[in-house]
Amino acid sequence: MDRARLADFLRSRRQALQPEDVGLPRGRRRRTDGLRREEVAVLSDMSADYYSRLEQQRGPHPSEQMLAALARGLRLSLEERDHLFRLAGHATPRRVPRTDHIEPGMMRIFDGLEDAAAQVVNHVGETLTQTRLSKALIGDESVHTGPARSLHYRWFTDPATRSIYPEDDHPIHSRLIAANLHRVYTRDGADSRAAAIVDALLAQSPEFAGIWSGHPVTGSYCPPKRVLHPQLGLLELHCQTLLDPDQSQMLVVYTATPGSESYEKLQLLSVIGAGLD
C-alpha cells in the first residue's frame, strides 16, 4: 500500500469532481471547486473521519469493498478504479465484459465503413456484425449458432472454417487463436464463457490441447492474412484492429496495398458482393 500516492490520488479526483457532476448544489459558500471530503464520504457510504484519514495518510488499509465504494463515489473510470486498487495494495477486480451489445462509439465507426471489409467481433471470437464486403470476402458468419458462433471453436472443430486460408498458414492461425483464447480465459476466469469454450476444445481437439499445454501468449496484434476466395483466388490483406476500452469487442478491417493485385481483387469483390444482394 502506497499511502502517500493513494492520498494524493484521492485528493486529485475529489478536487476534479464538481458538485453538479453528482447532483449536489454548489451553494454560495463554496469557495473552491471540487467536492468536500464530507461529500465524498456520503457518496461512498463511509464516515467522513474514515475518508479524511485516508487523505491524511493515516487511515487503515482499506478493504476491497471500501475501495469499490470509493470508486463509485468518485465516479472513477475502470482504469482509474484499477489504479486505485493497485495503490492500495490489492489485485485489480476482474472485469466481466459485455458480449452481444455493440458499444455506440464502435457502432458509429463501423457505420462509416460501409464500403470496407469490416466486422465487429467480441472477446470470444463471435462476429456481431459484418459489412457486405466482409461477407463476400470470408462468408456470412451470422449463420452459425451455439458454440460454433465462436471462430475460436470453429477453427479447431470444423475443417470448412480453414478452407479460406492456405494450408501453410494454418499453424500460425491455430497458435494465434489459441493464444487469444488463453488471454481472455486468464482475464475472465474459470467460470467465464471463454472457459466453456476451452473445456469443449480440450475434449474435442488434440491440436488445441497440445497448443494450450504450452501456455500460448501473444499480443492483440492482427498480422497480415492470406485469404483464398473461391472466385478470385489468393488475396494478401492487411488487418487493422480497434479495441474498445473494456476489451470486450474489436473492430477488424481488412485492406490491401493500393495498386496491388489483391487491391484490384478486393475492388472487384465489392462489385461481386453487390451482385449477390
pLDDT in tens, 132-161: 999 999 999 989 989 999 999 999 999 999
Domain range annotation of the chain: 3-87, 104-276
Query: Reduced to 3 states, what is the DSSP secondary structure of residue 172?
Result: helix
Cβ atoms of 237 and 260 within 8 Å: the answer is no
Q: Residue 254: enclosing H or E segment and its boundaries?
A: strand 249-255
Backbone angles phi, psi at 148, to 5 degrees: -70, -10
More confident residue, 116 or 274: 116
Phi/psi at 52 (5° precision): -60, -40
Q: What is the pTM of this model?
A: 0.64
Architecture of the 3-87 domain: Orthogonal Bundle (1.10)
Beta bridge partners of 229: 233
> Angle at CA 141, nearest 5°, toward 157 and 264?
110
Distance (Å, rounded) from C-alpha 242 to C-alpha 181? Answer: 18
Question: Rounded distance, CA 196 to CA 177, Å?
Answer: 15
Residue 209: pLDDT over 50: yes
**CATH number of the 104-276 domain:** 3.30.450.180
Q: How many residues does the chain have?
A: 277
- pLDDT tens digit string along 214-255? 998 876 667 889 999 988 999 999 999 988 876 678 999 999
Non-local (6+) Cβ contacts of 94 within 8 A are 187, 188, 189
pLDDT greater than 70 at residue 94? no
